[in-house]
C-alpha cells in the first residue's frame, strides 16, 4: 500500500473550516484514499473515502487532486468535538478478506474556542 | 450505520491472569475482523486478521499462543490474552468488515487493558 504523509499537528478556530492535507505521491490507480479519526481513548471512526472524484457526506468533504498525489479533508465548521487525530490511509477498496488498514501517525487537530 | 461493539471497555487485573475481549458486529455479518493494539502516544498496529471458520493470521512478532483469537460466528470474534504481564498493558481495538459489500472497515471503541 502507498505511504501517506501528513503534518503532525494543526490548530483550527471553532466554527472555521479545518483543512487537513495528505500527500500520497506513490498512490496506485486502484487505491482509494480513506480518512479516519480517533478521538482520545476511543476506536477510530470512519469519515469518508474516495478514488478520484471529490466526495462529500454529512461529516466532511474530500478533495483529491487531479493527479491523485494529494488530498485534503475539509471539516466545514469545526467544533470542539472535532479535536482528534486524523488518519489518511490509501488502500485498495476491499470486500471480504482484504482490508486491514495501515495507520501512520496522523495529524492531531486541535479545535480551539 | 455499521456498529461494532467491544467488551469490556476496561480491564485491570493481576499479572498471570488470562483476559478475554469480545468484538461483535451488531448490524452486519463480518467474515473478517481485525485486532489492533495501540500503545500510548503511538498509532494502531495490526496484530492479527480473524477469519470466520478458519485460523487467524498473525502479524510478524505477535505470538499466536499468547494472543488467542477465535472467530466462531459471523458476528463475534474474541481475543484472549493468556498469562498477561505488565508489558501486555495496552489499548486493544477490533474492527470488522461487512462481508458482502465494499463498506469501510468499522472499529469498536477499544479495551483498555492494565496488568498490575
pLDDT digits (tens, 9 = 90+) for A36-45: 999 988 999 9
CA separation for the pair A54, A35 (Å, rounded): 13
Q: Is A35 a residue whose pLDDT tops 90?
A: yes
* Contact criterion met (CB below 8 Å) for B80 and B94: no
- Whether B112 has its CB under 8 Å from any CB of chain A: the answer is yes
Q: Which residues of B touch A49 (CB under 8 A)?
A: 104
pLDDT at A97: 44
Cα–Cα nearest to B7, from B99, B97, B92: B92
C-alpha distances in Å from residue B18, one per residue of B15, B57, B68: 9, 21, 10
Q: Which of A95, A101, A104 sits opposite B101 (nearest CB)?
A: A95
Query: What would the grid cell of residue A100 be?
Result: 486491514
pLDDT at A2: 61
pLDDT in tens, B60-83: 999 999 999 998 888 999 999 999
pLDDT at B89: 96
pLDDT in tens, B20-56: 999 999 988 888 899 999 999 899 999 999 888 888 9
Mean pLDDT of B2-12: 93
CA separation for the pair A82, B88 (Å, rounded): 30
- Whether B62 has its CB under 8 Å from any CB of chain A: the answer is no
Q: What values do phi and psi take at A80, rounded to 5? A: -60, -30
Amino acid at each position: 500500500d502507498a505511504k501517506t504523509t501528513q503534518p503532525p499537528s494543526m490548530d483550527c478556530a471553532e466554527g472555521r473550516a479545518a483543512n487537513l492535507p495528505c500527500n500520497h505521491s506513490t498512490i496506485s490507480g486502484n487505491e482509494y484514499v480513506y480518512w479516519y479519526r480517533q478521538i482520545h481513548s476511543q476506536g477510530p471512526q470512519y469519515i469518508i473515502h474516495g478514488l478520484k472524484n471529490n466526495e462529500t457526506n454529512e461529516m466532511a468533504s474530500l478533495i483529491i487532486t487531479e493527479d491523485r498525489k494529494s488530498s485534503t479533508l475539509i471539516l466545514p465548521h469545526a467544533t470542539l468535538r472535532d479535536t482528534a487525530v486524523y488518519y489518511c490511509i490509501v488502500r485498495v477498496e476491499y470486500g471480504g478478506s482484504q482490508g486491514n488498514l495501515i495507520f501512520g501517525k496522523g495529524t492531531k487537530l486541535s479545535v480551539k474556542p | 450505520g455499521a456498529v461494532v461493539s467491544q467488551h469490556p471497555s476496561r480491564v485491570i487485573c493481576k499479572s498471570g491472569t488470562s483476559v478475554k475481549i469480545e468484538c461483535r458486529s451488531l448490524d452486519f455479518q463480518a467474515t473478517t475482523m481485525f485486532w489492533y493494539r495501540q500503545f500510548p502516544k503511538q498509532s494502531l498496529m495490526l496484530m492479527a486478521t480473524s477469519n470466520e471458520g478458519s485460523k487467524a493470521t498473525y502479524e510478524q512478532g505477535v505470538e499466536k499462543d499468547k494472543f488467542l483469537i477465535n472467530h466462531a460466528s459471523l458476528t463475534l470474534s474474541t481475543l484472549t490474552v493468556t498469562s498477561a504481564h505488565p508489558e501486555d498493558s495496552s489499548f486493544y481495538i477490533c474492527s470488522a468488515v461487512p462481508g458482502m459489500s465494499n463498506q469501510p472497515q468499522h472499529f469498536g471503541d477499544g479495551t483498555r487493558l492494565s496488568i498490575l
